[in-house]
């Protein structure tokens, strides 16, 4: 039911918006009225106006005193002597004496508004806890608190103790939940911070310096105390930012200036000697440049030699589809591949990797090419590997060796020999999976009388073979992590049913992404063969 005050304003309790005020003179509706906590005033069951123009509202959550001039709301509940929290609808009466009666579920409450005054009590404010990184600080000789925080007026912290919380309380026990707080940390906060009923303040990442924390509070009637409670705080700087440290820096600077001056004097005295050293350095640089040009020429010649050893054409066979890829390194790595088709249609495939780099690896490739050319008509792999091993060992090339893998296709059978090269991967079309054929024999030239193993496998239509040097698996990313053979096998398995060229493209695309476009440090070679 609408209520009209003596000032001519009308108050309506809206179910959805709470209590609203209508000013007929201004022909406007004041937006929903709120209490001091910002909550709308809901469930207004009765309204009475006292002689001072204040409205007394019986609600479903206590008795409210509303001052239209100050727009301030004070709530009273059973702690203030009310019969209960809930008042009945329209159960309110103002006597001729000015005394008011409000009826509720537990009886009625009566009072004279003039006798309800705000308390002038000034509660004492105390600090009740101090926390570092959300942990309460205990009292002790080695603690920042040598006595209770209740008695402390100053706290000193180290530079790394810059995340703290201060808890405080106003000692008014008549209605503690109505107490509100404001605080400020001088030399940090620009203005007082309204904390409402929150009785703590937290600060993080504080810079070294001197601060003063101040807090004020209201009593239970909302009257603010006159004097704040204070706590001085000092956050000491780290040792390298102290006055003594800056004095040391100044002394070091002076010493540095003196030292530089002495060096300059010596430099003037030794000017000719330095000029001579510069001329000598320039000469060494010229020599180094010539040496670099020579090495560059040798590397290019080694690259040309290596590439000249490779077959000019890839065999075109009815039962096999072959694709080859080689990317040489910035410094020649010594990869080598070759083919030979025998008169009966047997295909022999070689893939090798000479140890070392540059001209020496190019020389080893030419040796291997010669050994293969002289024995290529033979289809017996074991004598070829044994003889090649003896020949290289007899040349006494030191640590220079040749890792070599060989596959010989004859109809649906293949022979495999491997001297120190990565394992052969075979995609089995009938199983839809990749099989690893590992032979752990030594590189050619490592041990003179080493016996090399020859394996035989059967291949079927749709099977795909991947031969490779170690250059791809050892590619590194920005964190120096290698691709590895397991991931190489997974990459091959992803596209092993595709054509050999597509398989090589897939591997190269992954390698370029892995290295972020950097040049490879070792040769990368693939030979992919698909059985038709």
Q: In this structure, is residue 293 part of a structural domain?
A: no
> What pLDDT score does 177 carry?
80
Cβ atoms of residues 354 and 295 within 8 Å:
no
> What pLDDT score does 319 carry?
93
Same domain, 359 and 503: yes
Same domain, 493 and 438: yes
Same domain, 51 and 11: yes
Q: In this structure, is residue 498 part of a structural domain?
A: yes
Same domain, 45 and 130: no
Same domain, 87 and 170: no
- CATH label of the domain that carries residue 226: 2.60.40.10
- CATH label of the domain that carries residue 54: 2.130.10.10
Q: In this structure, is residue 172 part of a structural domain?
A: yes
- For 348, the 3-state DSSP assignment is strand
Among 177, 212, 237, which residue terminates a domain? 237
Tokens for 471, please give them. Answer: 């250059």
Q: In this structure, is residue 273 part of a structural domain?
A: no
Same domain, 188 and 331: no
Q: In this structure, is residue 176 part of a structural domain?
A: yes
Long-range contact set of residues 313-320: C-beta below 8 Å, sequence gap at least 24? 314/339, 315/339, 315/341, 315/347, 317/341, 317/345, 317/347, 318/532, 319/531, 319/532, 320/347, 320/409, 320/529, 320/530, 320/531, 320/532
Extract the runs of DSSP E, i.e. beta strands, from 469-512: none
Q: What is the DSSP-derived secondary structure letter of residue 479?
A: T
Q: In this structure, is residue 96 part of a structural domain?
A: yes
Q: In this structure, is residue 371 part of a structural domain?
A: yes
Question: Does this model's pTM top 0.75?
Answer: no
> What pLDDT score does 77 carry?
82
Among 212, 237, 262, which residue terminates a domain? 237
Same domain, 87 and 161: no
Tokens for 333, please give them. Answer: 């790595």
Cβ atoms of residues 473 and 467 within 8 Å:
no
Same domain, 53 and 160: no
| Residue 506 lies in domain | 306-531
Same domain, 162 and 92: no
> What pLDDT score does 310 carry?
86
- CATH label of the domain that carries residue 524: 3.60.40.10
Among 58, 85, 115, which residue terminates a domain? 115
> What pLDDT score does 1 carry?
67
Same domain, 352 and 501: yes
Same domain, 110 and 144: no
Q: Report the C-alpha gap between 52 and 101 in whole angstroms.
A: 17
> What pLDDT score does 34 carry?
76
Q: In this structure, is residue 79 part of a structural domain?
A: yes
Question: How many domains in the chain?
Answer: 3
pLDDT string in tens for the chain (532-residue length): 688 888 888 888 877 778 888 887 776 666 677 776 677 888 899 999 999 899 999 998 889 998 888 788 888 888 778 889 899 999 999 999 999 999 998 999 999 998 887 777 889 999 999 999 999 999 987 888 988 898 899 999 999 999 999 999 999 887 788 899 999 999 999 999 999 999 999 999 999 999 999 999 998 888 899 999 999 999 999 988 888 888 998 999 999 899 888 888 888 888 878 887 887 777 787 777 776 666 656 556 656 666 677 898 999 999 999 999 999 886 666 899 999 999 999 999 999 999 877 778 878 888 999 999 988 888 899 999 999 999 999 999 888 999 999 999 999 999 999 999 999 999 999 999 999 999 999 999 999 899 999 999 999 999 999 999 999 999 999 999 999 999 999 999 999 999 999 999 999 999 999 999 888 888 999 999 999 9
If 0-12 CB within 10 Å is exposed, 13-18 middle and 19+ buried, where does residue 296 land? exposed
Same domain, 133 and 105: no
> What pLDDT score does 337 carry?
95
């Amino acid at each position: 039911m609408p209520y009209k005050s003596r000032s001519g304003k009308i108050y309506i309790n809206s179910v959805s918006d709470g209590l609203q005020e209508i000013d007929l003179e201004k022909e406007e509706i004041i937006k929903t009225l709120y209490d001091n906590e910002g909550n709308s005033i809901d469930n207004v069951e009765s309204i009475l106006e006292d002689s001072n123009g204040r409205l007394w509202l019986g609600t479903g959550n206590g008795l409210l005193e509303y001052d239209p001039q100050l727009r301030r709301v004070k709530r009273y509940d059973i702690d203030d002597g009310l019969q209960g929290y809930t008042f009945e609808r329209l159960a309110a009466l103002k006597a001729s004496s000015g005394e008011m009666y409000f009826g509720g579920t537990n009886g009625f409450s009566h009072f004279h508004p003039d006798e309800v005054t705000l308390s002038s009590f000034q509660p004492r404010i105390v600090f009740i806890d101090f926390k570092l990184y959300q942990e309460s600080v205990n009292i002790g000789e080695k603690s920042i608190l040598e006595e209770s925080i209740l008695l402390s007026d100053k706290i000193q912290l180290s530079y790394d103790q810059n995340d703290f919380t201060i808890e405080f309380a106003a000692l008014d026990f008549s209605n503690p939940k109505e107490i509100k707080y404001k605080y400020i940390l001088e030399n940090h906060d620009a203005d007082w911070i309204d904390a409402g009923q929150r009785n703590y303040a937290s600060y993080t990442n504080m810079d070294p310096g001197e601060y003063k924390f101040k807090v004020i509070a209201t009593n239970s009637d909302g009257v603010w105390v006159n004097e704040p409670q204070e706590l001085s705080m000092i956050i000491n700087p780290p040792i390298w930012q102290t006055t003594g440290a800056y004095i040391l820096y100044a002394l070091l600077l002076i010493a540095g200036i003196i030292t530089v001056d002495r060096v300059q004097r010596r430099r003037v005295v030794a000017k000719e000697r330095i000029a001579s050293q510069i001329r000598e350095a320039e000469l060494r640089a010229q020599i180094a440049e010539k040496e670099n040009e020579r090495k560059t020429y040798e590397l290019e010649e080694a690259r040309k030699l290596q590439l000249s050893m490779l077959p000019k054409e890839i065999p075109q066979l009815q039962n096999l589809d072959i694709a080859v890829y080689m990317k040489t390194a910035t410094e020649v790595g010594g990869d080598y591949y070759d083919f030979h088709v025998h008169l009966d249609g047997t295909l022999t495939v070689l893939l090798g990797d000479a140890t070392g780099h540059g001209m020496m690896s190019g020389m080893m490739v030419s040796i291997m090419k010669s050994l293969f050319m002289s024995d290529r008509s033979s289809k017996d792999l074991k004598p070829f590997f044994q003889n090649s091993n003896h020949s290289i060992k007899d040349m006494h090339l030191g640590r220079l060796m040749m890792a070599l893998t060989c596959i010989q296709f004859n109809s649906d059978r293949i022979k495999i020999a491997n001297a120190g090269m990565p394992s052969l991967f075979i995609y089995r079309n009938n199983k839809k999976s990749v099989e690893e054929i590992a032979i752990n024999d030594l590189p050619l030239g490592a041990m003179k009388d080493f016996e090399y193993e020859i394996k035989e496998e059967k291949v079927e239509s749709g099977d795909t073979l991947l031969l490779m040097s170690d250059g791809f698996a050892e590619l590194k990313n920005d964190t120096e992590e290698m691709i590895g053979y397991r991931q190489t096998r997974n990459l091959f398995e992803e596209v092993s049913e595709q054509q050999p060229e597509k398989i090589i493209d897939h591997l190269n695309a992954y390698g370029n992404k892995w290295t972020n476009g950097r040049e490879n440090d070792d040769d990368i070679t693939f030979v992919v063969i698909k059985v038709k």
